Amino acid sequence: MKQSKKAHVHNHPDEALREKSDAVEAGGSESEAADDDKPLSNKKYLAELKKLHVELVRLQQWVLHAGLKVCIIFEGRDGAGKGGTIKAITERVSPRVFRVVALTAPTERQKSQMYVQRYIPHLPAAGEVVIFDRSWYNRAGVERVMGFCTEKQARGFLQATPLVEQAIIQSGVILLKYWLEVSPEEQTRRLEARIDDGRKVWKLSPMDVKSYTKWDEYSRARDEMFQATDLPSAPWFVVPSNDKRRARLNMIKHLLSQIPYEKVPQEKVKLPKRKAPGDYVGPKLPLKVVPQVF
């Protein structure tokens, strides 16, 4: 059975990005810091990711077998790498077990509801892992910084959220909260890369452009969010994400360490012999075949 491991603690999220340079100044860790600074090769990344995918499939089988309820929250600035990390987690597991929730802006009706109400129906049932690509913490971040809620509403949210999350945990849900931390320089590089890339242009919304100028405001909102909601029963885990490949591997490895699971015994599948071809001849149907362009 996998056992939970104590996470390395930083007094401030920015320390996670400063850690390697501090180690070099302290002496004795220069080679390790240099290795960490070297880009992780795609070959090495894919080899390590394959191993983690095997473990995620084993976790999936245990979640189904034991009826676990797992909720994973991803937060971070625009361009921090949330979408790519979620994709790395889910690309080899079943979407019927690992569900990704990315809610759009609330409707007028939803705006009149209790704030957390529209998120509650998406929480996991037995045998499910629900991943929130941004969550109820929108109120502590985007909504607060961009003026979509009042300061009174934001502070009320921070006060009430620990109670709500405690109720979620008491219902049997394993709640994990991840913050992906990116530097201002790397965020700029990633957002600029979206402008002329037809594959990524949809990721750069007018809201992202407006948010870009408010680095300090987001930092202040993040820190107040941590102070109010980083609790022993529902801590925040900070993932340094300047290096996307390392961030994904480190995050998945940590995720697996936080959920006790076992390998579900299974007999090795063996395909039966196929029947010998009969005398069936299919009719000539007017099928439209896709052109073989490539």
- Predicted confidence (pLDDT) per residue in 35-71, tens digit: 566 779 999 999 999 999 999 999 999 999 999 999 9
The two structure tokens encoding residue 175: 């709640």
Element (H, E) at 16: helix 13-26
The answer to whether 73 and 176 have CB atoms below 8 angstroms apart is yes
- Residue 34 pLDDT exceeds 60: no
Element (H, E) at 225: helix 215-229
Q: Look at the chain and count its residues.
A: 294
Residue extents of the structural domains in the chain: 13-258
Per-residue pLDDT band at 96 (split at 50, 70, 90): very high
* Contacts with 239 (C-beta within 8 Å, 6 or more apart), sequence order: 16, 85, 178, 179, 180, 181, 247, 250, 251, 254
Q: Tell me what the pLDDT averaged over the chain comes to.
A: 90
How far, in Å, CA of 6 to CA of 98, rounded? Answer: 25
What's the CA dihedral at 153, 105, 121, 68 to 10 degrees?
-100
Q: Which CATH superfamily is domain 13-258 in?
A: P-loop containing nucleotide triphosphate hydrolases (3.40.50.300)
Mean pLDDT for 133-153 is 96
The two structure tokens encoding residue 237: 């885990």
Find tokens 């979407």 and name the residue. Answer: 95
Mean pLDDT for 265-285 is 89
Q: What is the pLDDT of residue 60?
A: 98
Residue 100 burial (C-beta neighbours within 10 Å; 0-12, 13-18, 19+): middle
Mean pLDDT for 259-270 is 93
- Residue 33 pLDDT exceeds 60: no
Tell me, what amino acid is at 189? R
- Residue 196 pLDDT exceeds 90: no
Among 227, 238, 191, which Cα is nearest to 212's? 191
* CA 187 to chain CA centroid, nearest Å: 17
**Taking phi first (over 0 means left), then psi (-120 to 50 degrees means alpha), and beta for anything else, what does residue 166 get?**
alpha
Strand partners, 73: 132, 177
Q: Report the Cα–Cα distance between both ends of the chain, in Å, rounded.
A: 47
Mean pLDDT for 204-227 is 93
Q: pTM value? A: 0.86
